[in-house]
Amino acid sequence: MDLLIINLIVIYPFRQVFTRYFSGLSLAQSLNASGIAIPSSVYWAVFIISILALLYFTFFDYYLGQTPGKMLLKIKVISIIDTHQEITIPRALLRNCFILPFFPFYIFWVVEPLYLAFYKERFLEKITGTKTVYEYEKDHTKGYVKEYKLDKV
């Protein structure tokens, strides 16, 4: 769901930049792109798309604790350092910085899956003191109370 929203709202407006460059390339040329110069407009488009995607995830993690995709899956981001406090903007930014395709952030493309495979938790969640948890509601006599199940998602 989140990627669909990002594709429609963030990437779609930049389609002209990519179409202009990639429409003239054959598959063989694109696979062997060592002799082909990439225009600066493509780099700028990738940079802006990356920043907007980072802001999308950071905004929703900070303000709501969940993106629309997380809402559908009934999961939420919470702070495990202080359970009564929402996550801060710097922690929300840091936990989502793996989105950026620039050095040193793309190192997380390798670190995150390996750390997850060995330790069963995300590396950036460990660093930021956040956790993605299941959310459920309990029926009490005075209404519904939202609780969080701290199982690994």
How many C-beta atoms lie closer than 10 Å to residue 79's C-beta?
17
- pLDDT number for residue 21: 74
| 134, amino acid identity | Y
Q: At how many degrees (to 10) do helices 40-63 and 15-22 cross? A: 150
The pLDDT, as a whole number, for residue 137 is 58
Predicted pLDDT at 4? 92
Q: Is 129 left (phi over 0), alpha (psi -120 to 50) or beta?
A: left
Q: Which DSSP symbol is given to 87?
A: P
Question: Of 49, 77, 84, which Cα lies nearest the Cα of 62?
Answer: 77
- Residue 99 is which amino acid? I
pTM score: 0.79
Distance CA(26)–CA(61), nearest Å, equals 40
Domain boundaries of the chain, sorted by first residue: 2-149
Residue-level pLDDT, tens digit, the chain, 153 residues: 898 999 999 989 988 888 877 776 666 665 565 556 777 888 899 999 999 999 999 999 999 989 999 999 989 888 888 766 678 899 999 999 999 988 898 899 999 999 999 998 899 999 999 988 887 655 555 444 455 555 554
